[in-house]
Structure 1
Amino acid sequence: MSDRLTHLNDQGHAHMVDVSDKSITKREATARSRVVMAPATLAAVMAGGLPKGDVIATARLAGIMAAKKTPELIPLCHPLMLTKVSVEIEAINDTCIEIRCTCALSGKTGVEMEALTGASVAALTLYDMCKAIDKGIVIQETCLLTKQGGKSGDWSRTHEN
C-alpha cells in the first residue's frame, strides 16, 4: 500500500491525478449499501404498495444515474465512459434491503467511486420514497466489496457482515 495520498500534490494541495500515462485496462467494481427499516415497511416496498410508486425500480434508476454523474458530485473524480452500471436490490431478511452497484469500463482509472455513489444514491432514494411511513430508516454499511483491474490489481473484502 502506498504511503502517499494520490490526490495530494508535493505541496499537500488537492489535485486531480494525471492518468495519461496509465494503460487502458478492463476495470470493474462492486459496492453495497444496506437499508434497515421496519418489517411492515420492507413488506410494503417488496409488494409495491407505497404511495410514491415502484420504490425498487426508482432506486435502481437513481443508482444508475448517480454512478454516471459521479464526477459532478465528487470533485477529483475523472469523467468516465462507463460501459456497465447495474444495480441489484434485494431483501436479505425482514428488515434489511441490500443494494449492490457494479460499474465497469475499459479505461485508465478505476470505477470504485462510481459503484459507491450508485449504491449510496439508490439507498438515499429508498429512504426518500419510504420516509412517509417509516421515520426510523437507517442507511448503513456502504462499502466497496470488490475491484478488478488496474495497476493495483484485484481486491476483495475479506469478511462479510
Structure 2
Amino acid sequence: MSSVQVREAALADLPPAVLYALLRLRVDVFVVEQECAYPELDGRDLEPTCVHVWADVDGAVAATLRVLRDADGRGRIGRVATARDFRGAGVAARLMERALELLAGSDVVLDAQAHLQHWYARFGFVAQGSEFQEDGIPHVTMVRTA
C-alpha cells in the first residue's frame, strides 16, 4: 500500500472535493453496503467542535471518522468507515489513534456495531449497557475512561 497520510479538519476547512469523498464513503458503507436507509447526514457534522479525520492514500479517502463532544462533556467518536479495498490494512486503527489523541484527557464514548466490539477493545473501550438495535444492526455503547 502507498503512504497513508492522516488528515483532519473542521467542516468549514474541508475542501469541497474532500468533504464529498468523506460523505460518499460513509454513504457507501453505512447506507449502500449495509443496506440501511437512514439519515446519514444527522446534523452533528455541523457542530463547531466536530473534527473530521481521514486517511489519504494517493489522494483518495481510504477511511474516515469524526470526533465530537457530547453535551455531557465526553468525547465521542463516530461514523468510522473504511473503504473495502483498505480494510484489514491498519488504516482505521491509525485514525482511531489520532482521534484518541484529539480527545486526550476526556472520557470517550462510541456506539460500536456489536461485531466490532473486540476491535474497539484494542483501544481501551469497554462495553457499557445492553446491546441495542440501530437501523437493524446490533450495536453496543462502549466507553474509554480518561
Superposition TM-score, scaled by structure 1 size: 0.31
Higher relative contact order (CA 8 A, sep 6+): 1
| Larger proportion of strand | 2
Superposition TM-score, scaled by structure 2 size: 0.34
Report which of the two structures shows the higher radius of gyration computed on alpha carbons.
Answer: 1
